[in-house]
Amino acid sequence: MVSLYYESQLLATIGITFLLSRIVVPLDSALLASEGKALLESGWWSDCGNLPSDRCRWPGIVCNRAGSIIGISPPSEFFMVGTKFRNMNFSCFSNLVHLDLANHELSGGIPPQISVLSKLRYLNLSLNGPEAELQLSSLVNLSRLVKLDISYNSMSSYIPPKLGNLKNLVVLNISHNGLFGTIPSTLCNLSDRRTCLSGSIPLEIGNLEKLEELDLGHNYLVGPIPHTLCNLNSPTHLVMDSNYLEGGIPREIGNMKNLESLNLDNLGKLEELDLGYNNLVGPIPQTPSSLAKLRSLSLPHNGINGSIPLEIENLIMLEELDLGYNNLVGPIPSTLDCLSNLSFLDLSSNNLSAEIPSQLYNLSLRQVLDPRLSPPRNEILQQNIIVIVALAFSCIYAKPKSRPSMKFVSQEFLSPDRASSVGSFYEISLLELQSLGMQYLTSETRSHMPYHQDESLIEVSNLTYSLNFEERF
């Protein structure tokens, strides 16, 4: 009996709930009338031909079940160039949730009535161009916004601090504009953002813990890239091209383990770029002339493949180039000769081929040995290293039968009158080392050996690097 009572109560509850779900609360007819009037007077649909009497069936219009407009995204082909924003009376759409006017070539600025759209969650005004005359200050009261995109509008204004009051914002894109001034620190309180913005970069940007995409491209960013940016573990895409950033890339960028795409083009004041010891793959991009101030390029211990681009000659200020321990193939480009300031070069542990540019023959051990490692200070050890390197030059040949024995060459080098003639450890050049190795061989032995200058230079470059590295440990 009790069971039947509860079953009947449950059925009654379900029935009442179903009936309530079917009830649509009637809206004020005046509101519906004002919405229809605003659409007609905007003229935005004037080229659509015969429109149905039901405005909810107009192209780009979405209504709720009560017939009130909640979405406006008219097709861009209906718009003529120069159509005015202010033609639409936005204050009539109190239930509007979605407004998409991207790529409509609108002009005349955002009408102030848009700030009364208290339910608006999605706003896209991108790709309207300079005639749009957009002002961010007119959007700061849209507190329910989840996505805001006003990119590609050639805006010329500052970023209002009140934009940080949009607590529900998840996606914010204001890239490719002419924004000036600094990024207000209030924006960095938006801890759930997936897309941040451009301006000058505050240290507080490291607080955006859930940031997944950061596009700062095509603006007027100045100053260094803050090291706090590298505290972010979530970003997969980082774009900072076409700005005026300067200084180096923080070494901590290697902590961004999820990073898949990094765009740093046109950073005209960049001086140092160190992305070594990561998992970077793919070829080295063609080096733009805009990186003319780059002094140090370090990409060792990655999976970089392809060839060294000829455009590397554009890096006219380059002093250090480290591409060691990658999968590079092909020739060493002759354009390296143009890098007159180059003092350190590491191309070891790759699959490079062909000739070494003639300028590199004059490199001394000071330039070949890795400057990050402590050099030998003991004179005997210095001489021994030179002896071993020259010994290697003497014994690297294509045909084993043509090589002198290691014992023979070592006896020649280690004799007192030979060891004293090796000269300064730091200033001896690779070419001198090679000649030194050859001059101690007997004419009978040397006459049976082919002379492979370039191959031996490649080997000794690797050998000197290895000797210095192993000495540290």
User: Residue 392 in contact with residue 413, Cβ under 8 Å?
Assistant: no
Q: Which of 185-189, 222-226, 464-468 has the highest mean pLDDT?
A: 222-226
What pLDDT does residue 60 have? 87
**For 304-330, what is the mean pLDDT?**
88
Q: Does the pLDDT of residue 88 top 60, yes or no? A: yes
- The verdict on 383 and 450 lying in the same domain is yes
The answer as to whether 91 is a domain residue is: no
Q: Which of 76-80, 94-98, 310-314 has the lowest mean pLDDT?
A: 76-80
- Which pLDDT band holds residue 463 (cuts at 50, 70, 90)? very low
What pLDDT does residue 102 have? 86
SS3 36: helix
Give the tokens for residue 361: 């023959």
**For 124-151, what is the mean pLDDT?**
79
395-417, pLDDT tens digit by residue? 544 444 444 555 555 555 455 55
User: Residue 270 in contact with residue 247, Cβ under 8 Å?
Assistant: yes
* Angle separating helix axes 406-414 and 379-395, nearest 10 degrees: 140
The answer as to whether 78 is a domain residue is: no
Report CA torsion sign: 454, 459, 460, 465.
Answer: positive
- The verdict on 346 and 418 lying in the same domain is no
* Interatomic CA distance for residues 283 and 464, integer angstroms: 27
237-239, strands of its sheet edge to edge? 213-215, 237-239, 261-263
User: Residue 213 in contact with residue 192, Cβ under 8 Å?
Assistant: no
The answer as to whether 168 is a domain residue is: no
* Interatomic CA distance for residues 313 and 340, integer angstroms: 10
Q: Given the DSSP bridges, would you call strands 61-63 and 69-72 parallel, antiparallel or unpaired?
A: antiparallel
Amino acid making up residue 22: R
What pLDDT does residue 98 have? 93
Final residue belonging to a domain, choices 302, 319, 354: 354
Q: Which domain holds residue 325?
A: 269-354
- The verdict on 383 and 457 lying in the same domain is yes
The answer as to whether 336 is a domain residue is: yes
- Which pLDDT band holds residue 351 (cuts at 50, 70, 90)? confident
Q: What is the largest CA-CA distance in the chain?
A: 119
* Interatomic CA distance for residues 177 and 124, integer angstroms: 15
- Which pLDDT band holds residue 158 (cuts at 50, 70, 90)? confident
The answer as to whether 441 is a domain residue is: yes
Q: Does the pLDDT of residue 86 top 60, yes or no? A: yes
Q: Which residues contact 456 (CB under 8 A, 6 or more apart)?
A: 392, 393, 396, 434
Instruction: Indicate the number of domains in the chain.
Output: 2
Q: How many beta carbons lie within 10 A of that of residue 472, not counting itself? A: 9
What pLDDT does residue 85 have? 74
**For 74-80, what is the mean pLDDT?**
71
Residues 434-470 as b/e (b if ≥16 CB within 10 A, e otherwise) read: bebbbebbeeebeeebeeeeebbbbbbbbbbbebbee
Is pLDDT larger for residue 132 or for residue 446? 132
* Interatomic CA distance for residues 243 and 223, integer angstroms: 10
What pLDDT does residue 442 have? 42
Q: Which of 190, 226, 454 is nearest to 347 (CA)?
A: 454
**For 380-392, what is the mean pLDDT?**
58
Final residue belonging to a domain, choices 354, 388, 416: 354
- The verdict on 299 and 345 lying in the same domain is yes
- The verdict on 334 and 395 lying in the same domain is no
SS3 186: helix
Give the tokens for residue 172: 């914010």
* Interatomic CA distance for residues 133 and 115, integer angstroms: 16
- The verdict on 387 and 340 lying in the same domain is no
Q: What are phi and psi of 84, to 5 degrees?
A: -85, 140
Residue labelled with tokens 């919405």: 35
- The verdict on 343 and 384 lying in the same domain is no
**For 65-77, what is the mean pLDDT?**
86
Angle 134-137-142 from CA coordinates, rounded to 5° = 100
R_g of the chain, CA atoms, integer Å:
35
What pLDDT does residue 443 have? 41
- The verdict on 383 and 445 lying in the same domain is yes
Q: Does the pLDDT of residue 82 top 70, yes or no? A: no
Q: Which residues contact 231 (CB under 8 A, 6 or more apart)?
A: 206, 252, 255
The answer as to whether 384 is a domain residue is: yes
Helix (H) or strand (E) holding 439, with range, is helix 430-439
Q: What residues are paired with 237 via a beta bridge? A: 213, 261
What pLDDT does residue 336 have? 78
DSSP 352: E
The answer as to whether 396 is a domain residue is: yes
* Span between the terminal Cα atoms of the chain, in Å: 87
* Interatomic CA distance for residues 174 and 151, integer angstroms: 4
Is pLDDT larger for residue 13 or for residue 275? 275
SS3 296: strand
What pLDDT does residue 119 have? 92
The answer as to whether 53 is a domain residue is: no
Q: Which residues contact 216 (CB under 8 A, 6 or more apart)?
A: 175, 196, 197, 198, 199, 201, 239, 240, 243
222-223, strands of its sheet edge to edge? 222-223, 244-248, 269-274, 296-298, 320-322, 344-346
- Which pLDDT band holds residue 39 (cuts at 50, 70, 90)? confident
* Interatomic CA distance for residues 393 and 462, integer angstroms: 12
Mean pLDDT of all residues belonging to the chain: 68
CATH code for position 349: 3.80.10.10
- The verdict on 316 and 396 lying in the same domain is no
